A and B are shown apart, each in its own frame.
Chain A
Amino acid sequence: MDRAAIRTRLLEIVGPDGLLDDPDELLVYEYDASDEVFAGHHRPDFTVLPRTAEQVSAVVRLANEVGLPVIPRGAGTGLAGGALALRGGILIVLTRMNRILEVNERDGYAIVEPGVINLELSTALQPRGYFFAPDPASQRACTIGGNVGNNSGGPHCLKYGVTTNHILGLEVVLPDGERIWTGGPVPETPGVDLTGVLVGSEGTLGIVTKVMVRLTRLPEAVSVLLAAFPDIESASHATSAIIAAGVLPAALEMMDHLTIKAVEDAFHAGYPREAGAVLLVELDGLQEIVAENTGRVAELCRQHSAWEVRVARTKEERDLLWLGRKSAFGAMGRLAPNYYLVDTTVPRTKLPATMRRVEELSREYRLSIANVFHAGDGNLHPLVLFDRHRPGEVERVLECTTEILRYCVDVGGTLSGEHGIGFEKRDYMTLVFTTEDLCAMAGLKRSFDPRELFNPEKVLPTGFRCGEVAVLRQQALAQRLGLEYV
């Protein structure tokens, strides 16, 4: 089918205001929030903005018929290039499907369309006494569908878990265009846990058209502490001490000196400028427990060299303390024209050593690195600062970030804690996984999408073809075990 014919068919499905294919209109869809310097830009053949699940399904069936790739996209805030149309094709943007369809607080769930914005959902639930727990830094812009695709995290995941822990069921359009519901409002739905498999699959297995989310009861009491430490090392030890004491904070965030300075210059959140590191600790739950634990955490911070501990008692005070943390990425513009955000997780006990290694690499590669991260669960976010116009700097950034990833994997960590693999990190997958591991993952992908049309070139390494590897391996196994190979 030629381009004009496909265009006509798409128009029939989504209507004239639901289709973009003019190069000027497509320009914005050549990018997502990943850095163009590293990810490049990639123009889709068409961008469609469906309003219903039926339209999504019809577009997918058409794509199948004509053999065009399909790339789902929410608000485009992904940092790993997951929404880039690497092989062209049809970009399906779900932002117009943005209704909250049902809220049932009595039974603890809501059904929403994928284009609902994360913060808007929690804002809508708040008056009813509930919230949606995952709270990525981009929550003012990112969509629930995007959260599902990336299994997004956020500061409050320490206590409440990541997106997959809050998704009860999904309506999903599979790569053949069929639309099914997985999971449901109550646990232990019999069968393979397709909901669990789909969350975090980065749009490579299906497109979510409705999401059944778990509602979490707002806690009775909340307190926030800010503790100022002489250096990252002492703040890291305080983190371990808090966890070891059996306290599970709702959030436990760390910022280093460079970040504190940038945040103060830009937003005046009132953080102590002289601090080598600050910890932001939020405790929530029953008032008796919060009161007791707030005292314990303050004491533990002091024992580990905190020279100032502030406790926010009102909502306004709490919001002010959080302001600095939530604005940290925005403040980086004060320090350098560009930054590359590395998202990686290490076992919590490896944090101090990892931070030392990051500092070493910063010196070695002559690049400033700011650190703001989820200390409680070992999820680091070194921000490597640079200027893309300075010759050789982009290359140094790439080498430096690769070294950071390599170190994190070596100490038992992983490639990505919450941003996803996408296009950015797929070739690092072999640092963590064996050929056998990747073959099993490719088998999962193949079971959903045998024609590899759904968000191609993502998650699995470039050119990874399990078939060839599998034949060789099967022959070797046959030889070793004395099996006949036919």
Chain B
Amino acid sequence: MTGTTRLAPDTALQRLEELGRSSDPSNYIVDGIPPRVALELASPEAVAEALALCAAAGLALVPWGGGGQMGLGNLPERYDVALDLRGLAAVVDYEPDDLTIGVQAGCTLARLAAILSEHGQMLPLDADDPERITIGGLVATGLGCPRRFGYGSLRDLIIGITVALPDGTLARGGGMVVKNVSGYDMMRLHFGALGSLGVIVRANFKLLPSPEAQRTLLVAFPSLEEAMEGALAVRGSQLAPTALVVLAPVTAERFVGMARWTLAARCEGPEGAVLRQAERLAETAASATSEARILEHEETLRFWSSLQGKLAATPLVDVIRVRIGELPSRLGELAARLVTEWGSALEDAVLDVGSGLAFATLAGTVEELRAAWTRLAGYGRHATMLAAPRDVKAGYDVFGRPPEGVAVMRRLKETFDPERTLNPGRFIALL
């Protein structure tokens, strides 16, 4: 058996500040709580060392990227140190001809996209705030976008990872090749684990060639039922859009000025093929009473990026955002229920029919929102509060019903983070 290391908390805090640059703790508030110290670290080794110091001193640490997804998570059990990883932002390994890249966790989506586009390549990700969203944050939260229908999610594209562990080591899994079964899948162990088992310092991905052209087919329907019928017809076709969503009237009005249940299908590929694809999709989806429109390339990019803002875990003040997993064929039923039960409190609703996820943003008083969550938590295959005010979260598990494997998850936590240094209490089942 291994022993334990100890260090007085005050000494540890002092030593931490020597490791990197101190930052203003008020910029790192999680659910209303500021940390005692905030640090910017610039090397993976410094991150590992910081973790070891925190573990020895019993300090609780929260890893930070741009903070754009910090709405996700239970109220922290303790919060001493904010670890800002944006200084760790290098592209470590990029060979365009291999279609692979290795990047440090703090690299923003905007920067990564700029580097990749020079070579006509991409990761199929959208963000309404790409300057803020970091790769590490996307891997840690596991939050994707509707393009997973066509391309798979980041979970499908991750081929390697390096994490810093509370025992002060850096551990890698996977590698820089697209096909690899050497050893355990450490990438998926950490993907979506909210940094509760290790701090992600680097991730490797397989890349995709950027499509030559993009279009989005929009079809507005007089009713939810007709919109869902159109969407399911597209889903079952061989027309292969890369994303397929249905927007509630309030959301459709906000983004495309059509105040009806609106289907949006994204087409990506060679110019001529994409135009033809959009036309064929329109034939498949349309009904006698629907109204179709096509967004051009630039409009398509703007539309999906801004829509992503309604699917993100950005911290929210007066509203809650819920993600519900449900079979695509049952999303219509689910949406009808949301509308009936919450009506005008429903600020936005997006049904990701390609994936089987519904996103709803609800407004109300703290009491109303708490009452709403007690019902919503039981909806669908799974339900998560992606973001909510502190007082709404209090006392609940934002990840909803605990899954069957929670005992294994607890053992993983005990193995990798025995002192409960990393994001204590914030992950599922208050891990």
Binding site for B on A (CB under 8 A): 104-108, 129, 150-151, 153, 157, 161-162, 164-165, 174, 178, 180-182, 184-197, 199-201, 217-220, 240, 243-248, 285-286, 288-289, 292, 345-349, 374, 377-379, 412-421, 425, 429, 432-434, 436-441, 443-448, 459, 467, 470-471, 473-474, 477-478, 481-486
Contacts and interface: CB of A to CB of B under 8 A. Distances in A.
A200 B173 CA distance: 13
B188 A467 contact: no
A414 B197 CA distance: 25
Interface in B159-194: 163, 165, 167-173, 175-189, 191-193
Contact of A349 (B98, B153, B175, B236): B98
A150 B183 CA distance: 10
A286 B239 contact: yes
Contacts of A377: 177-179
Complex A-B, nearest 3 residue pairs according to Cβ-Cβ distance, in ascending order = A196-B188, A186-B356, A246-B209
A95 to B, nearest CB: 22
Contacts of A197: 184-185, 188-189
A413 B177 contact: yes
Interface of B: 1-7, 15, 49, 52-53, 56, 95-100, 120, 142-144, 148, 152-153, 155-156, 163, 165, 167-173, 175-189, 191-193, 197-198, 208-212, 232, 235-240, 269-270, 272-273, 276-277, 323, 325-329, 355-357, 380-382, 384, 399-400, 402-409, 411-412, 414-416, 428-429
B273 A445 contact: no
B232 A106 contact: yes
B357 A188 contact: yes
Given A107-B329, A348-B97, A378 B178 contact: yes
A164 B187 CA distance: 12
Contacts, number: 317
18 contacts: A107-B356, A180-B405, A186-B380, A187-B325, A190-B382, A192-B197, A243-B99, A246-B212, A412-B176, A415-B182, A417-B179, A429-B183, A432-B182, A433-B182, A437-B183, A445-B184, A481-B56, A483-B53
A444 B52 contact: no
A217 B237 CA distance: 8
Contact of A194 (B152, B323, B328, B408): B408
A347 B95 contact: yes
Nearest to B236: A106
Given A185-B356, A186-B357, A197-B189, A289 B5 contact: no
A107 B269 contact: no
A346 B100 CA distance: 12
A285 B428 contact: no
Contact of B272 (A191, A288, A348, A418): A288
Contacts of B169: 436, 439-440, 473
B3 A474 contact: yes
Contacts of A180: 404-405, 408
A189 B363 CA distance: 25
Nearest to A199: B185
Contacts of A470: 2, 167
Given A107-B327, A429-B182, A446 B156 contact: no
Contact of A161 (B99, B156, B400): B156
B179 A379 contact: yes
A417 B181 contact: yes
A485 B428 contact: no
Contacts of B411: 447-448
B52 A417 contact: no
A378 B5 CA distance: 44
Nearest to A446: B415
Given A187-B144, A197-B185, A483 B236 contact: no
A425 B181 CA distance: 11
Nearest to B380: A186
Contacts of B143: 188
Chain A CB count within 10 A is highest, among B142, B208, B415, for B415
A145 to B, nearest CB: 16
Given A186-B326, A439-B171, A192 B185 contact: no
B6 A484 contact: yes
Nearest to A346: B177
Nearest to A435: B169
A477 B52 CA distance: 8
B182 A190 contact: no
Nearest to A477: B168
A193 B142 contact: yes
A286 B209 CA distance: 17
Contacts of B5: 474, 477-478, 481, 483-486
